[in-house]
Amino acid sequence: MLYAFGCSFTYGTSCINPKTDSWPVLLADLLETSCTNYGLPGASNDHIFKTVLENLLKIDKNNDYIIVMMTSSSRRYFRKRNILPSTKADIAKTFYKYLHDKECDSINFLQNLNAFHNILKGYRYLITFMDARPLLECKEYNLGAGVSTKENMYIPKRLGLHHYIEDIDNQHPSNKGHIAISNELYKGYFNE
């Protein structure tokens, strides 16, 4: 079984049918296994981490795969809500006005990345990125010590899987983009 965790990119927003056309399902087919997709549109890395923790005991360490696709560093899980800079709710406006800054985004991104590696030790797992540019931003803030490349990490070609976005909504990959993502992960990580 392949367990996938992430945001709308993992869920399959803009696919004709996310249950059959999203990259986790397509990658599971390439790996000749089934798939459980925990992708959630609008999810933050904090929420993705929380979802992994909530489901970790269901996963067989020896036979299952876990794939985490980290999302934008500016998204947060705040007061039990996923918020983005574009969220219209008052709670998001307050967070982004008074509590948010880019360096804090980088620290939070690294905390999540390293926490994923820590809790997934002993599992068959992969961490990849919708957009890996926050790794470079971490170095800009002198946080490079936390950005070591790990064995269970795949940095996509051109620094992110966001380059598969197509003109369906200009925010998400279509079926064609999900096929390309699954093929890149399969060839670039599982079939090196």
**SS3 track for the chain:** CEEEECCHHHHCCCCCCHHHHCHHHHHHHHCCCCEEECCCCCCCHHHHHHHHHHHHHHCCCCCCEEEEEECCCCCEEECCEEECCCCCCHHHHHHHHHHCCHHHHHHHHHHHHHHHHHHCCCCEEEEEECECHHHHHHHHCCCHHHCCCCCCEECCHHHEHHHHCCCCCCCCCCHHHHHHHHHHHHHHHHCC
Predicted confidence at residue 192, as pLDDT, reads 62
Instruction: Check residue 113 and give its pLDDT.
Output: 95
The CB-side HSE value for 107 (13 A sphere, CA atoms) comes to: 5
| Each residue's pLDDT tens digit, 89-131 | 999 999 999 988 999 999 999 999 999 999 999 999 999 999 9
The mean pLDDT of 137-149, rounded to a whole number, is 79
The pTM (predicted TM-score) of the whole model is 0.95
Res 43 pLDDT > 90: yes
- Where does the pLDDT of residue 18 fall: very low under 50, low under 70, confident under 90, or very high at 90 and above? very high
User: What pLDDT was estimated at residue 149?
Assistant: 65
Task: Compute the mean pLDDT over every residue in the chain, rounded to the nearest whole number.
Answer: 93
Cβ proximity of 102 and 133 under 8 Å: no
For position 150, what pLDDT does the model report?
73
Greater confidence (42 vs 157) lies with 42
Non-local (6+) Cβ contacts of 167 within 8 A are none
Which domains are assigned to the chain? Answer: 2-190 (3.40.50.1110)
Instruction: Report the pLDDT value the prediction gives residue 30, as an integer from 0 to 100.
Output: 97
